[in-house]
A and B are shown apart, each in its own frame.
Chain A
Amino acid sequence: MNELEDYFRDEANEIVEGLTRDLLALEKNPADSAILARCMRLAHTLKGAARVVRQTRIGEMAHTIEDALAPFRDTDETITSDYVSDLLRILERIREETMKLGATIAPGPASDGKGKGTTKPAPPPIDDRLETVRVDIADMDALLEGLSEASIQIGPLNGGLAALQHALRLAVLLREELELGQTMGERGRSPRLAAQFAEITQSLVHAERDINASLGRIERELGEVQSRAATLRLLPVGAILGTLELTARDTAEALGKNVSFSARGGEVRLEGHVLSAVRDALLHVIRNAVDHGIETFEERLAWGKPEAGRIHLDIERRGRMVAFRCSDDGRGIDVAAVRKAAVHRGLASSEEELDEEATLALVFRSGLTTAAEVTEISGRGVGLDVVREVASRLRGSVRLSSKLGEGTTIEIEVPVSLSSIPVLSVMFGGSTALVPLDAVRGTRRLTASERLQGPDGERILFGDRAVPFTSLGAVLASEGERHDLPEACSAVIVQSGEAWIALGVDRLLGTMDVVLRPLPPGAGAPAAVAGAAFDAQGDPLLVLDPPALARTGARRGAAMETRREAPKRLPILVIDDSLTTRMLEQSILEAAGYEVDLSASAEEGLRKAKARKYGLFIVDVEMPGMDGFEFTATTRADPALRDVPVIIVTSLATSKDREKGAAAGASAYIVKGEFDQKHFVRKVAELLGAAS
């Protein structure tokens, strides 16, 4: 119990700190409903945590704060400074209570919840906690960054070693050449030279041997330290199971119910702050399950259910995610009642507009409760809102399924975040990517004939299953880029839920453990990428996201289908005397899926225009020989070419030039200094669409 109280003290301090800050912010912005909601959630969390360690006084005070804030959420009334001051005074008392709690924890038998009010100072606890150090996660990250930097510095050392080995080989060769080629006149000097060479060679041999061995040892040791440090950052879920069980028991006790709690998967490890946020969410889920889900003893007997309600938590690692499934065998959610409550609270205008899924999703909305009366434990419509908020903050998800009379399951899926995961390293088109190993069902060496062409794209046989096949290059390449697989390639077969996909790669490089890092700010959220890890040189490697890969693969298949129909679209002719501009426009247009021909002069452009049917001309103005205005005018006068629109792209920016372009018959005029790729592509699409 001491350990639990320690956790509580830390948690309570953090919450009080957060609440103080938020209440002060609310005082300044009384109409900010987000701050108000946060204050209520913090008070709610504190109330729940206090109940777990049987700090009823703190629990009551937190309840008072939550209660006092509720009217401001439900009405238009805004909070006043005096009111905030009152709440801060209550917080101050909570703080005093918490400090008192810290000072009175006495070593010895587990607390029975009584006699906590004494203020007798306890002797400092002497137990094995002296062997444990609490480390801030930021310090842990700094350590990991330092280690990563140290291992990166080994890269150049390896380069130095290679240079030394090369010098050694040269020295040996040089000595041999000297021995063979010496002339009579050189004989006199040779013993001295030979001795010097022998000495140089010997020194190089020693240096190479020592450096090589030490470097190998340093690399191994550093690797070991890195992996240990990375693991230290992760905590087993088992660390929170005690708290959860206690919550279930205490809540049941307070409500006069009988509940048994079980859990599986406590060995799954994840990052400390992810785990602590999930714990908060699970506390609410469990309290809700006991309060609203599990029926009273009499009710359960009447339904023919066992006397004790059952709450089971299943923890499972799914690639970069961890799923927490909390199921109860209680009464389930009464969808009709939720509909009614939603309409009552104005969340829906009529009960008809809510189907079952939409109704269940409403359970996570702030302020919605079906509880007939607000109890001290839950029923204020805050609990499940916290669950949704935690899941979204951690970039995870939450799902709810329920059967009336049979029970409810809430699944919270969160990323492991900075966790160490085993991956398969693969190479494609000169790049390396990492596939989380737990999604890999197998690998296969493939020849082109083993890739079976079907109506919905390629498939390969894996066991008795025909798995959709796609080149990893095609999934990861940017628009317009191509990655052809070699005749014989490897396939990595990946499973995600019900979906299977085989990824074609040039070759497999092996497995390793990496620390998965989230993508940094500004990197966007590419669907197929879960994050990145560093290689030994400190360069990033993309870690793939198997569930998204399956989806992206399917989308690509659909896109390829559409692309196959594309030939109907006519090619574009780009005429510009500047190679750079030609290349730039070509790359933009090809990336957007167009076929492009190039000409360096208007004359050449005219010849090409007569030889092939184009959908659009993009032409520069200032060129040696015929200029862009003349080209435009010439094509407008030619019945075969007059319907092909012309875009003038030029550095001539005056209105006079623009008028000249329009007079010549150009459909659009783009100034190079104002060149905007999106606008350009849009204009091209517009004109090509109009022309075809």
Chain B
Amino acid sequence: MNGRSQEWDRSGDGAPVSAPAIAAERHVTDLRRAFDASFAAPPRDAERSGELVLAIQAGGQGYAIRLSDIDGVHECRKVVPLPEAPPGLLGLTGIRGRLFAVHALGALLGLPTWNEKPRWLLIAGGDEPIAIGVASIEACLEVSPADLVPVDSAKEGEAHVREFVTLAGQARGVLVLESLVARALKRAGERREGAS
């Protein structure tokens, strides 16, 4: 990030505030993201209107993640440990010439058996992306919006689940990646307690 604002003037009423450079940069970023995402996303028919979810395993538990919540899926290659890392921050990895901090999903969810070797990395976090390590990806499935059942009251320890979905007869929590990324940043000491 170069610190520039993501907003630009659209008025076109003669005020030369519009910054073509910023717009172009944004366009390039969008294209790059779309390009990356095209590899991550399975082909889908135009008529389909359901939501694509990934069925994953972390810390010995099954969860679901909306495909639209992640910016990419990559095979986990070498992860270099960092000194003074909080539990769950597995280290650094390189993906297409970019550095990512790898956090174990199980640890972010507070599961006791999070210390498994991640096989896949999910990229999430928008402008402050991190790689979230998961033990396995079981399937990528399309579910109809009606299949996503909101959770009434989030229990302690399930604060990152706001919906449930039943996949192959098994109910799984649909993870809210935004809050998990915020938790990862907080654990790394980059956000204060209570910030989301």
Hey, which bits of chain A sit against chain B, CB under 8 A?
Answer: 13, 16-17, 20-21, 92, 95, 99, 136-139, 142, 144-149, 152, 273, 393, 431, 475-478, 517, 519-529, 532, 534, 537-542, 580-581, 584, 587, 672-677
CA distance A523 to B184 in the complex (A): 9
Q: Is the CB of B80 within 8 A of A675?
A: no
Q: Which residue of B lies closest to A676 (CB)?
A: B110
B125 touches A675 (CB 8 A): no
User: Closest approach, in angstroms, between the C-beta of B192 and any C-beta of chain A?
Assistant: 14
Q: Are A522 and B190 in contact (CB under 8 A)?
A: yes
Task: Please tell me if the beta carbons of B110 and A675 are within 8 angstroms of each other in the complex.
Answer: yes
B196 neighbours in A (Cβ, 8 Å): none
Query: Which of A519, A538, A541 sits near B101, CB closer than 8 Å?
Result: A519
Main secondary structure of the interface of B (DSSP, over half): loop
On chain B, the residues within 8 Å of A673 by CB distance are 157
Contacts of A475 in B (CB 8 A): 83
Contact: A542 with B82, CB < 8 Å? Answer: yes
**Nearest 3 CB-CB pairs, A to B?**
A148-B97, A522-B101, A521-B128
Contact between A149 and B16, CB atoms less than 8 A apart: no
* Contact in complex: A526, B85 (CB < 8 Å): yes
Q: B97 — which chain A residues lie within 8 A by C-beta?
A: 144-149, 152, 534, 538
Nearest-neighbour CB distance to chain B for A586, whole angstroms, equals 12
The answer to whether B101 touches A521, judged by C-beta atoms less than 8 angstroms apart, is: yes
Collect the chain A residues with CB atoms within 8 Å of residue B190's CB.
521-522, 524-525
What's the minimum C-beta distance from B158 to chain A, rounded to whole angstroms?
11
B78 to chain A, nearest CB (A): 4
Q: Say yes or no: B130 contacts A521, CB within 8 Å.
A: yes
Q: Interface residue count for B (Cβ, 8 Å)? A: 52
By a CB distance below 8 angstroms, the chain A residues around B101 are 519-524
B113 within 8 A of A: yes
Indicate if the CB atoms of A524 and B99 lie closer than 8 Å: no
Residues on A with beta carbons closer than 8 Å to the beta carbon of B17? 16-17, 20-21
| B115 at the A interface (CB under 8 A) | yes
**A-contact 0/1 string along B159-192, CB 8 Å cutoff:** 0000000000000000000000100110011100
Q: Which residues of B contact A148 (CB under 8 A)?
A: 96-97
Given the complex, which residues of B lie within 8 Å of A677, measured CB to CB?
Answer: 87
Is B99 touching A522 in the complex (CB atoms < 8 A)?
Answer: no
CA distance A97 to B188 in the complex (A): 48
| Residues of B in contact with A (beta carbons under 8 Å apart) | 2-3, 5, 7, 15-17, 19, 21, 24-25, 28-29, 32, 77-78, 80-87, 89, 92-94, 96-101, 103, 110-113, 115, 125, 128-130, 156-157, 181, 184-185, 188-190
CB distance from B109 to the nearest CB of A (A): 11
Show 7 residue pairs from A and B whose CB-CB distance is below 8 angstroms, ordered by the A residue.
Answer: A95-B16, A136-B21, A148-B96, A522-B101, A523-B89, A526-B82, A527-B83
Closest to A520 in B: B99
B28 touches A529 (CB 8 A): no
Closest to B60 in A: A580
- Contact at B25–A539, with CB atoms within 8 Å? no
A21 touches B7 (CB 8 A): yes
Other-chain contact of B84, A137, A526, A537 (Cβ < 8 Å): A526
Chain B residues in 8 Å Cβ range of A393:
3
Q: Is the CB of B84 within 8 A of A524?
A: yes
Contact in complex: B128, A529 (CB < 8 Å): no
Selected contact of B157 from candidates A149, A529, A674, CB within 8 Å: A674
Known pairs A145-B96, A539-B93; list 17 more (Cβ under 8 Å): A16-B17, A21-B7, A21-B17, A95-B15, A137-B2, A142-B32, A273-B2, A478-B83, A520-B98, A520-B130, A522-B100, A522-B184, A526-B83, A527-B84, A538-B77, A542-B82, A584-B112
Q: Are B156 and A139 in contact (CB under 8 A)?
A: no
A672 touches B86 (CB 8 A): no
A519 adjacent to B115 (CB under 8 Å): no
The residue on B at minimum CB distance from A147 is B97
One of A99, A519, A672 near B16 (C-beta < 8 A):
A99
**Bound form: Cα–Cα A580–B5 in Å:** 49
| Cα–Cα, bound, A674→B130 (Å) | 25
B residues in contact with A528, CB < 8 Å: 83
Whether the pair A139, B28 counts as a contact (CB closer than 8 A) is: yes
Chain A contacts of B100 at CB under 8 A? 520, 522
Given A17-B19, A478-B85, A524-B86: A519 in contact with B92 (beta carbons within 8 A): yes
Contacts of A477 in B (CB 8 A): 83
Residues from chain B with Cβ under 8 Å of A529 in the complex:
82-83
A659, B29: Cα distance in complex, Å: 58
Query: Which residues of chain B have C-beta atoms less than 8 A from A16's C-beta?
Result: 17
> How far apart are A42's CB and chain B's nearest CB, in angstroms?
13
How far does the Cβ of B129 sit from chain A's closest Cβ, in whole Å?
7
- Cβ of B113: which chain A residues have Cβ within 8 Å of it? 580, 584
Residues of A near B82 (CB, < 8 A) are 519, 523-524, 526, 529, 542
- Within 8 Å CB of A142, what residues of B? 28, 32
Question: Are B83 and A476 in contact, CB atoms less than 8 angstroms apart?
Answer: yes
Contact of B2 among A21, A138, A522, A538 (CB under 8 A): A138
Minimum CB distance partner of A134 in chain B: B21
Q: How distant is the Cα of A238 from the Cα of B25 in the complex, in angstroms?
A: 28
